[in-house]
Amino acid sequence: MGRKFVAVVGRPNVGKSTLFNKLAGKRIAIVDDKPGVTRDRIYAKAEWLQHEFTLIDTGGIEPKADDIILAQMRRQALIAIETCDVIMFVVDGKLGMTDADNEVALMLRKSGKPVVLVVNKLEKRSEEANLYEFYNLGLGTPIPISATQALGLGDMLDEVVAHFDDVAEEDEDENVVRVAFMGKPNVGKSSLINRLIGEERNIVSSIPGTTRDAVDSYLETEEGQFILIDTAGIRRKSKIKEVIERYSVIRSFAAIEKADVCVLMIDATEGVTDQDEKIIGFAHEQSKALMVIVNKWDLIEKDNNTFEKFKKDIQQDLKFAPYVKFLFISALTGQRANKVMKVVKECYESYNKRISTGVINEVVSQAVLMNEPPIVSNNRLKIYYATQVATKPPTFVFFVNNPQLLHFSYRRYLENQLRNAFGFEGTGIKLIFRERKDS
């Protein structure tokens, strides 16, 4: 069962961001009385009744006139329909039903996707009579909630997760590796993919932001079968002015979530920018297999030290993900482009690697002998044993006396010991610490 995506859709100022923050458990979207203040696409992991899912706040509507509101609502709904498994359609119970609500409801009905109709701002029992007009939207039984007071959220989430079993799983071939090409606009993602697949599948232009959507291309080589995903260029948030581009970012992050290998392309003439760090940081948080392609390498004047210095500078900028693999290419001239899929495959093999429990515990025992866990609050962490419980990414569970005694530096030490012993070049790994009573 793959992770499900749930989109929060609705008109400006109906309380989407307030609801999103409550479900995400922290205040991570801007909340304001002014319509359209959610300036960026925000993802959060959420959980209900042992169901884990990714929540998407589809905000970013900046209304100027009714026709623009409707146009942006339609686009917002389209993105939700395309990228999500279940849609939470939020309406304003105090204000009542509007033409914009009707317009979006029509699209959602036609999509065939499961929709949970959420009527917000119903703080009082006396206001629940406002529910009935929303039956006219044809989206089933409306669920009354108050996001600000956290009323009715349990019933709403029950309805959301009830739809998960109805969602058709993607027919994924285990042998096909999904590769997301990430990066700022105009770094050469489309040019490289066109070169790899040998056809002009994607529009290539020097105008930043030409690729509006995440586009999939199938590629089969001696390295295996791949789906190449050309994501829209992800700009700095303050520069995302066009609504269509803002919603392209949603597609891009959804592509990263669903990919096996994430390839960050950077421009050699610019180096690593703050935005590059944020993009790869998102993939790093998901423990994806990671590769950095430095494009336009043909434009750099070189001497004997250029390559090593450039690589060292990038590694310093991306020190939070020291395991990434690098390749320096020119998509335009084809320099080293023939090595891209070979390195992608190496990253994927690390992402899919499994180690036997006996061998893991030999390495962990040796690591503890060489460097005991530090004393925390007059106690010391005891590691009883460790085992790998999953691949994609490699995930290890350590059974210990008390997970709260784990110092972050010792977690990093154990990860480094596993990497030194087993490689894992080009992939994130997960370490989970669970309490087991000492018998």
The per-residue pLDDT for 37 is: 35
Rounded CA-CA distance 88/48 in Å is 15
298 with 216, same domain: the answer is yes
Is the pLDDT at 38 greater than 80? The verdict is: no
From the number of C-beta atoms within 10 Å of its C-beta (0-12, 13-18, 19+), residue 368 rates as: middle
pLDDT category of residue 33 using cuts at 50, 70 and 90: very low
Among 143, 166, 189, residue at a domain's last position: 166
Q: Which of 242, 280, 246 is nearest to 264 (CA)?
A: 280
Residue 172 pLDDT exceeds 60: no
Residue 154 is assigned to a structural domain of this protein:
yes
- The pLDDT tens digits of the residues spanning 66-111 come to 556 556 656 656 666 777 889 999 999 988 888 888 887 888 888 8
Q: Determine which helix (DSSP H) or strand (DSSP E) holds 66, and give its type and residue range.
A: helix 66-83
- Output the pTM of the full model: 0.66
User: From the centroid of its chain, how far is CA 258?
Assistant: 8
Per-residue pLDDT, 249: 60
Q: Which two tokens stand for residue 132?
A: 């009935």
Rounded to an integer, the average pLDDT of 289-301 is 91
pLDDT digits (tens, 9 = 90+) for 108-163: 888 888 999 999 998 877 777 788 899 999 999 999 999 999 889 999 999 999 98
* pLDDT exceeds cutoff 80 at 253: no
Question: Which pLDDT tens digit goes with each residue over 306-329?
Answer: 888 888 888 888 889 999 999 999
Same domain, 118 and 53: yes
71 and 32 in a common domain: yes
Domain end (from 319, 351, 383): 351
Q: Determine, yes or no, domain membership for 301.
A: yes
CB atoms within 10 A of CB 81: 18
One domain for residues 57 and 147: yes
Residue 31: pLDDT band by 50, 70, 90 thresholds? Answer: very low
Asked if 190 and 246 sit in the same domain, the reply is yes
Query: Both tokens of residue 229?
Result: 């995903």
Detail the residues annotated as belonging to a binding site: 10-17, 57-61, 120-123, 183-190, 230-234, 295-298
Instruction: Please report whether residue 171 resides in a domain.
Output: no
Same domain, 331 and 249: yes
Q: What is the mean pLDDT of the chain?
A: 80
Is residue 379 scored above 60 in pLDDT? yes
The pLDDT assigned to 213 comes to 45
| Residue ranges at the known binding site for GTP | 10-17, 57-61, 120-123, 183-190, 230-234, 295-298
The residues near 411 (Cβ < 8 Å, ≥ 6 apart) are: 431, 433
- 342 shares a domain with 420: no
pLDDT above 50: residue 35: no
Instruction: Express each pLDDT in 399-416 by its tens digit.
Output: 999 999 998 899 999 999
Q: Report whether pLDDT(180) > 80.
A: yes
Per-residue pLDDT averaged across 290-295, rounded? 94
The pLDDT assigned to 293 comes to: 94
Residue 244 has pLDDT above 70, yes or no: no
Among the residue ranges 35-49, 97-111, 291-305, the one predicted with the least confidence is 35-49
What tokens does 228 get?
Answer: 């190449």
The answer to whether residue 401 is domain-embedded is yes
The pLDDT confidence band at residue 36, using thresholds 50, 70 and 90, is: very low
Residue 432's pLDDT band, with cuts at 50, 70 and 90, is very high
CATH number at residue 72: 3.40.50.300
pLDDT of residue 207: 42
286 occurs within a structural domain: yes
**Average pLDDT rounded to a whole number, residues 366-383:** 91
Question: Is 106 inside a domain boundary?
Answer: yes
Half-sphere exposure of 213 (CA within 13 A, CB side): 10
Same domain? For 189 and 118 the reply is: no
Residues 6+ apart with CB under 8 A from 234: 182, 183, 184, 185, 249, 252, 253, 275, 279
| Any domain includes 414 | yes
Q: Looking at the structure, do residues 331 and 384 belong to the same domain, yes or no?
A: no
Which one of 105, 131, 166 terminates a domain?
A: 166
User: Where residue 381 sits, what CATH number does that domain have?
Assistant: 3.30.300.20
- Whether residues 233 and 153 fall in one domain: no
| Enclosing domain of residue 384 | 357-435
Residues 107 and 190 in one domain: no
Does 260 reside within a domain? yes
- Number of compact structural domains in the chain: 3
What percent of the chain has pLDDT above 90? 34
Is the domain of 342 the same as that of 362? no
The DSSP string of 155-166 is: HHHHHHHHTGGG
pLDDT digits (tens, 9 = 90+) for 208-231: 443 344 457 888 888 889 988 887
Which among 217-226, 275-284, 293-302, 348-357 has the top mean pLDDT?
Answer: 348-357
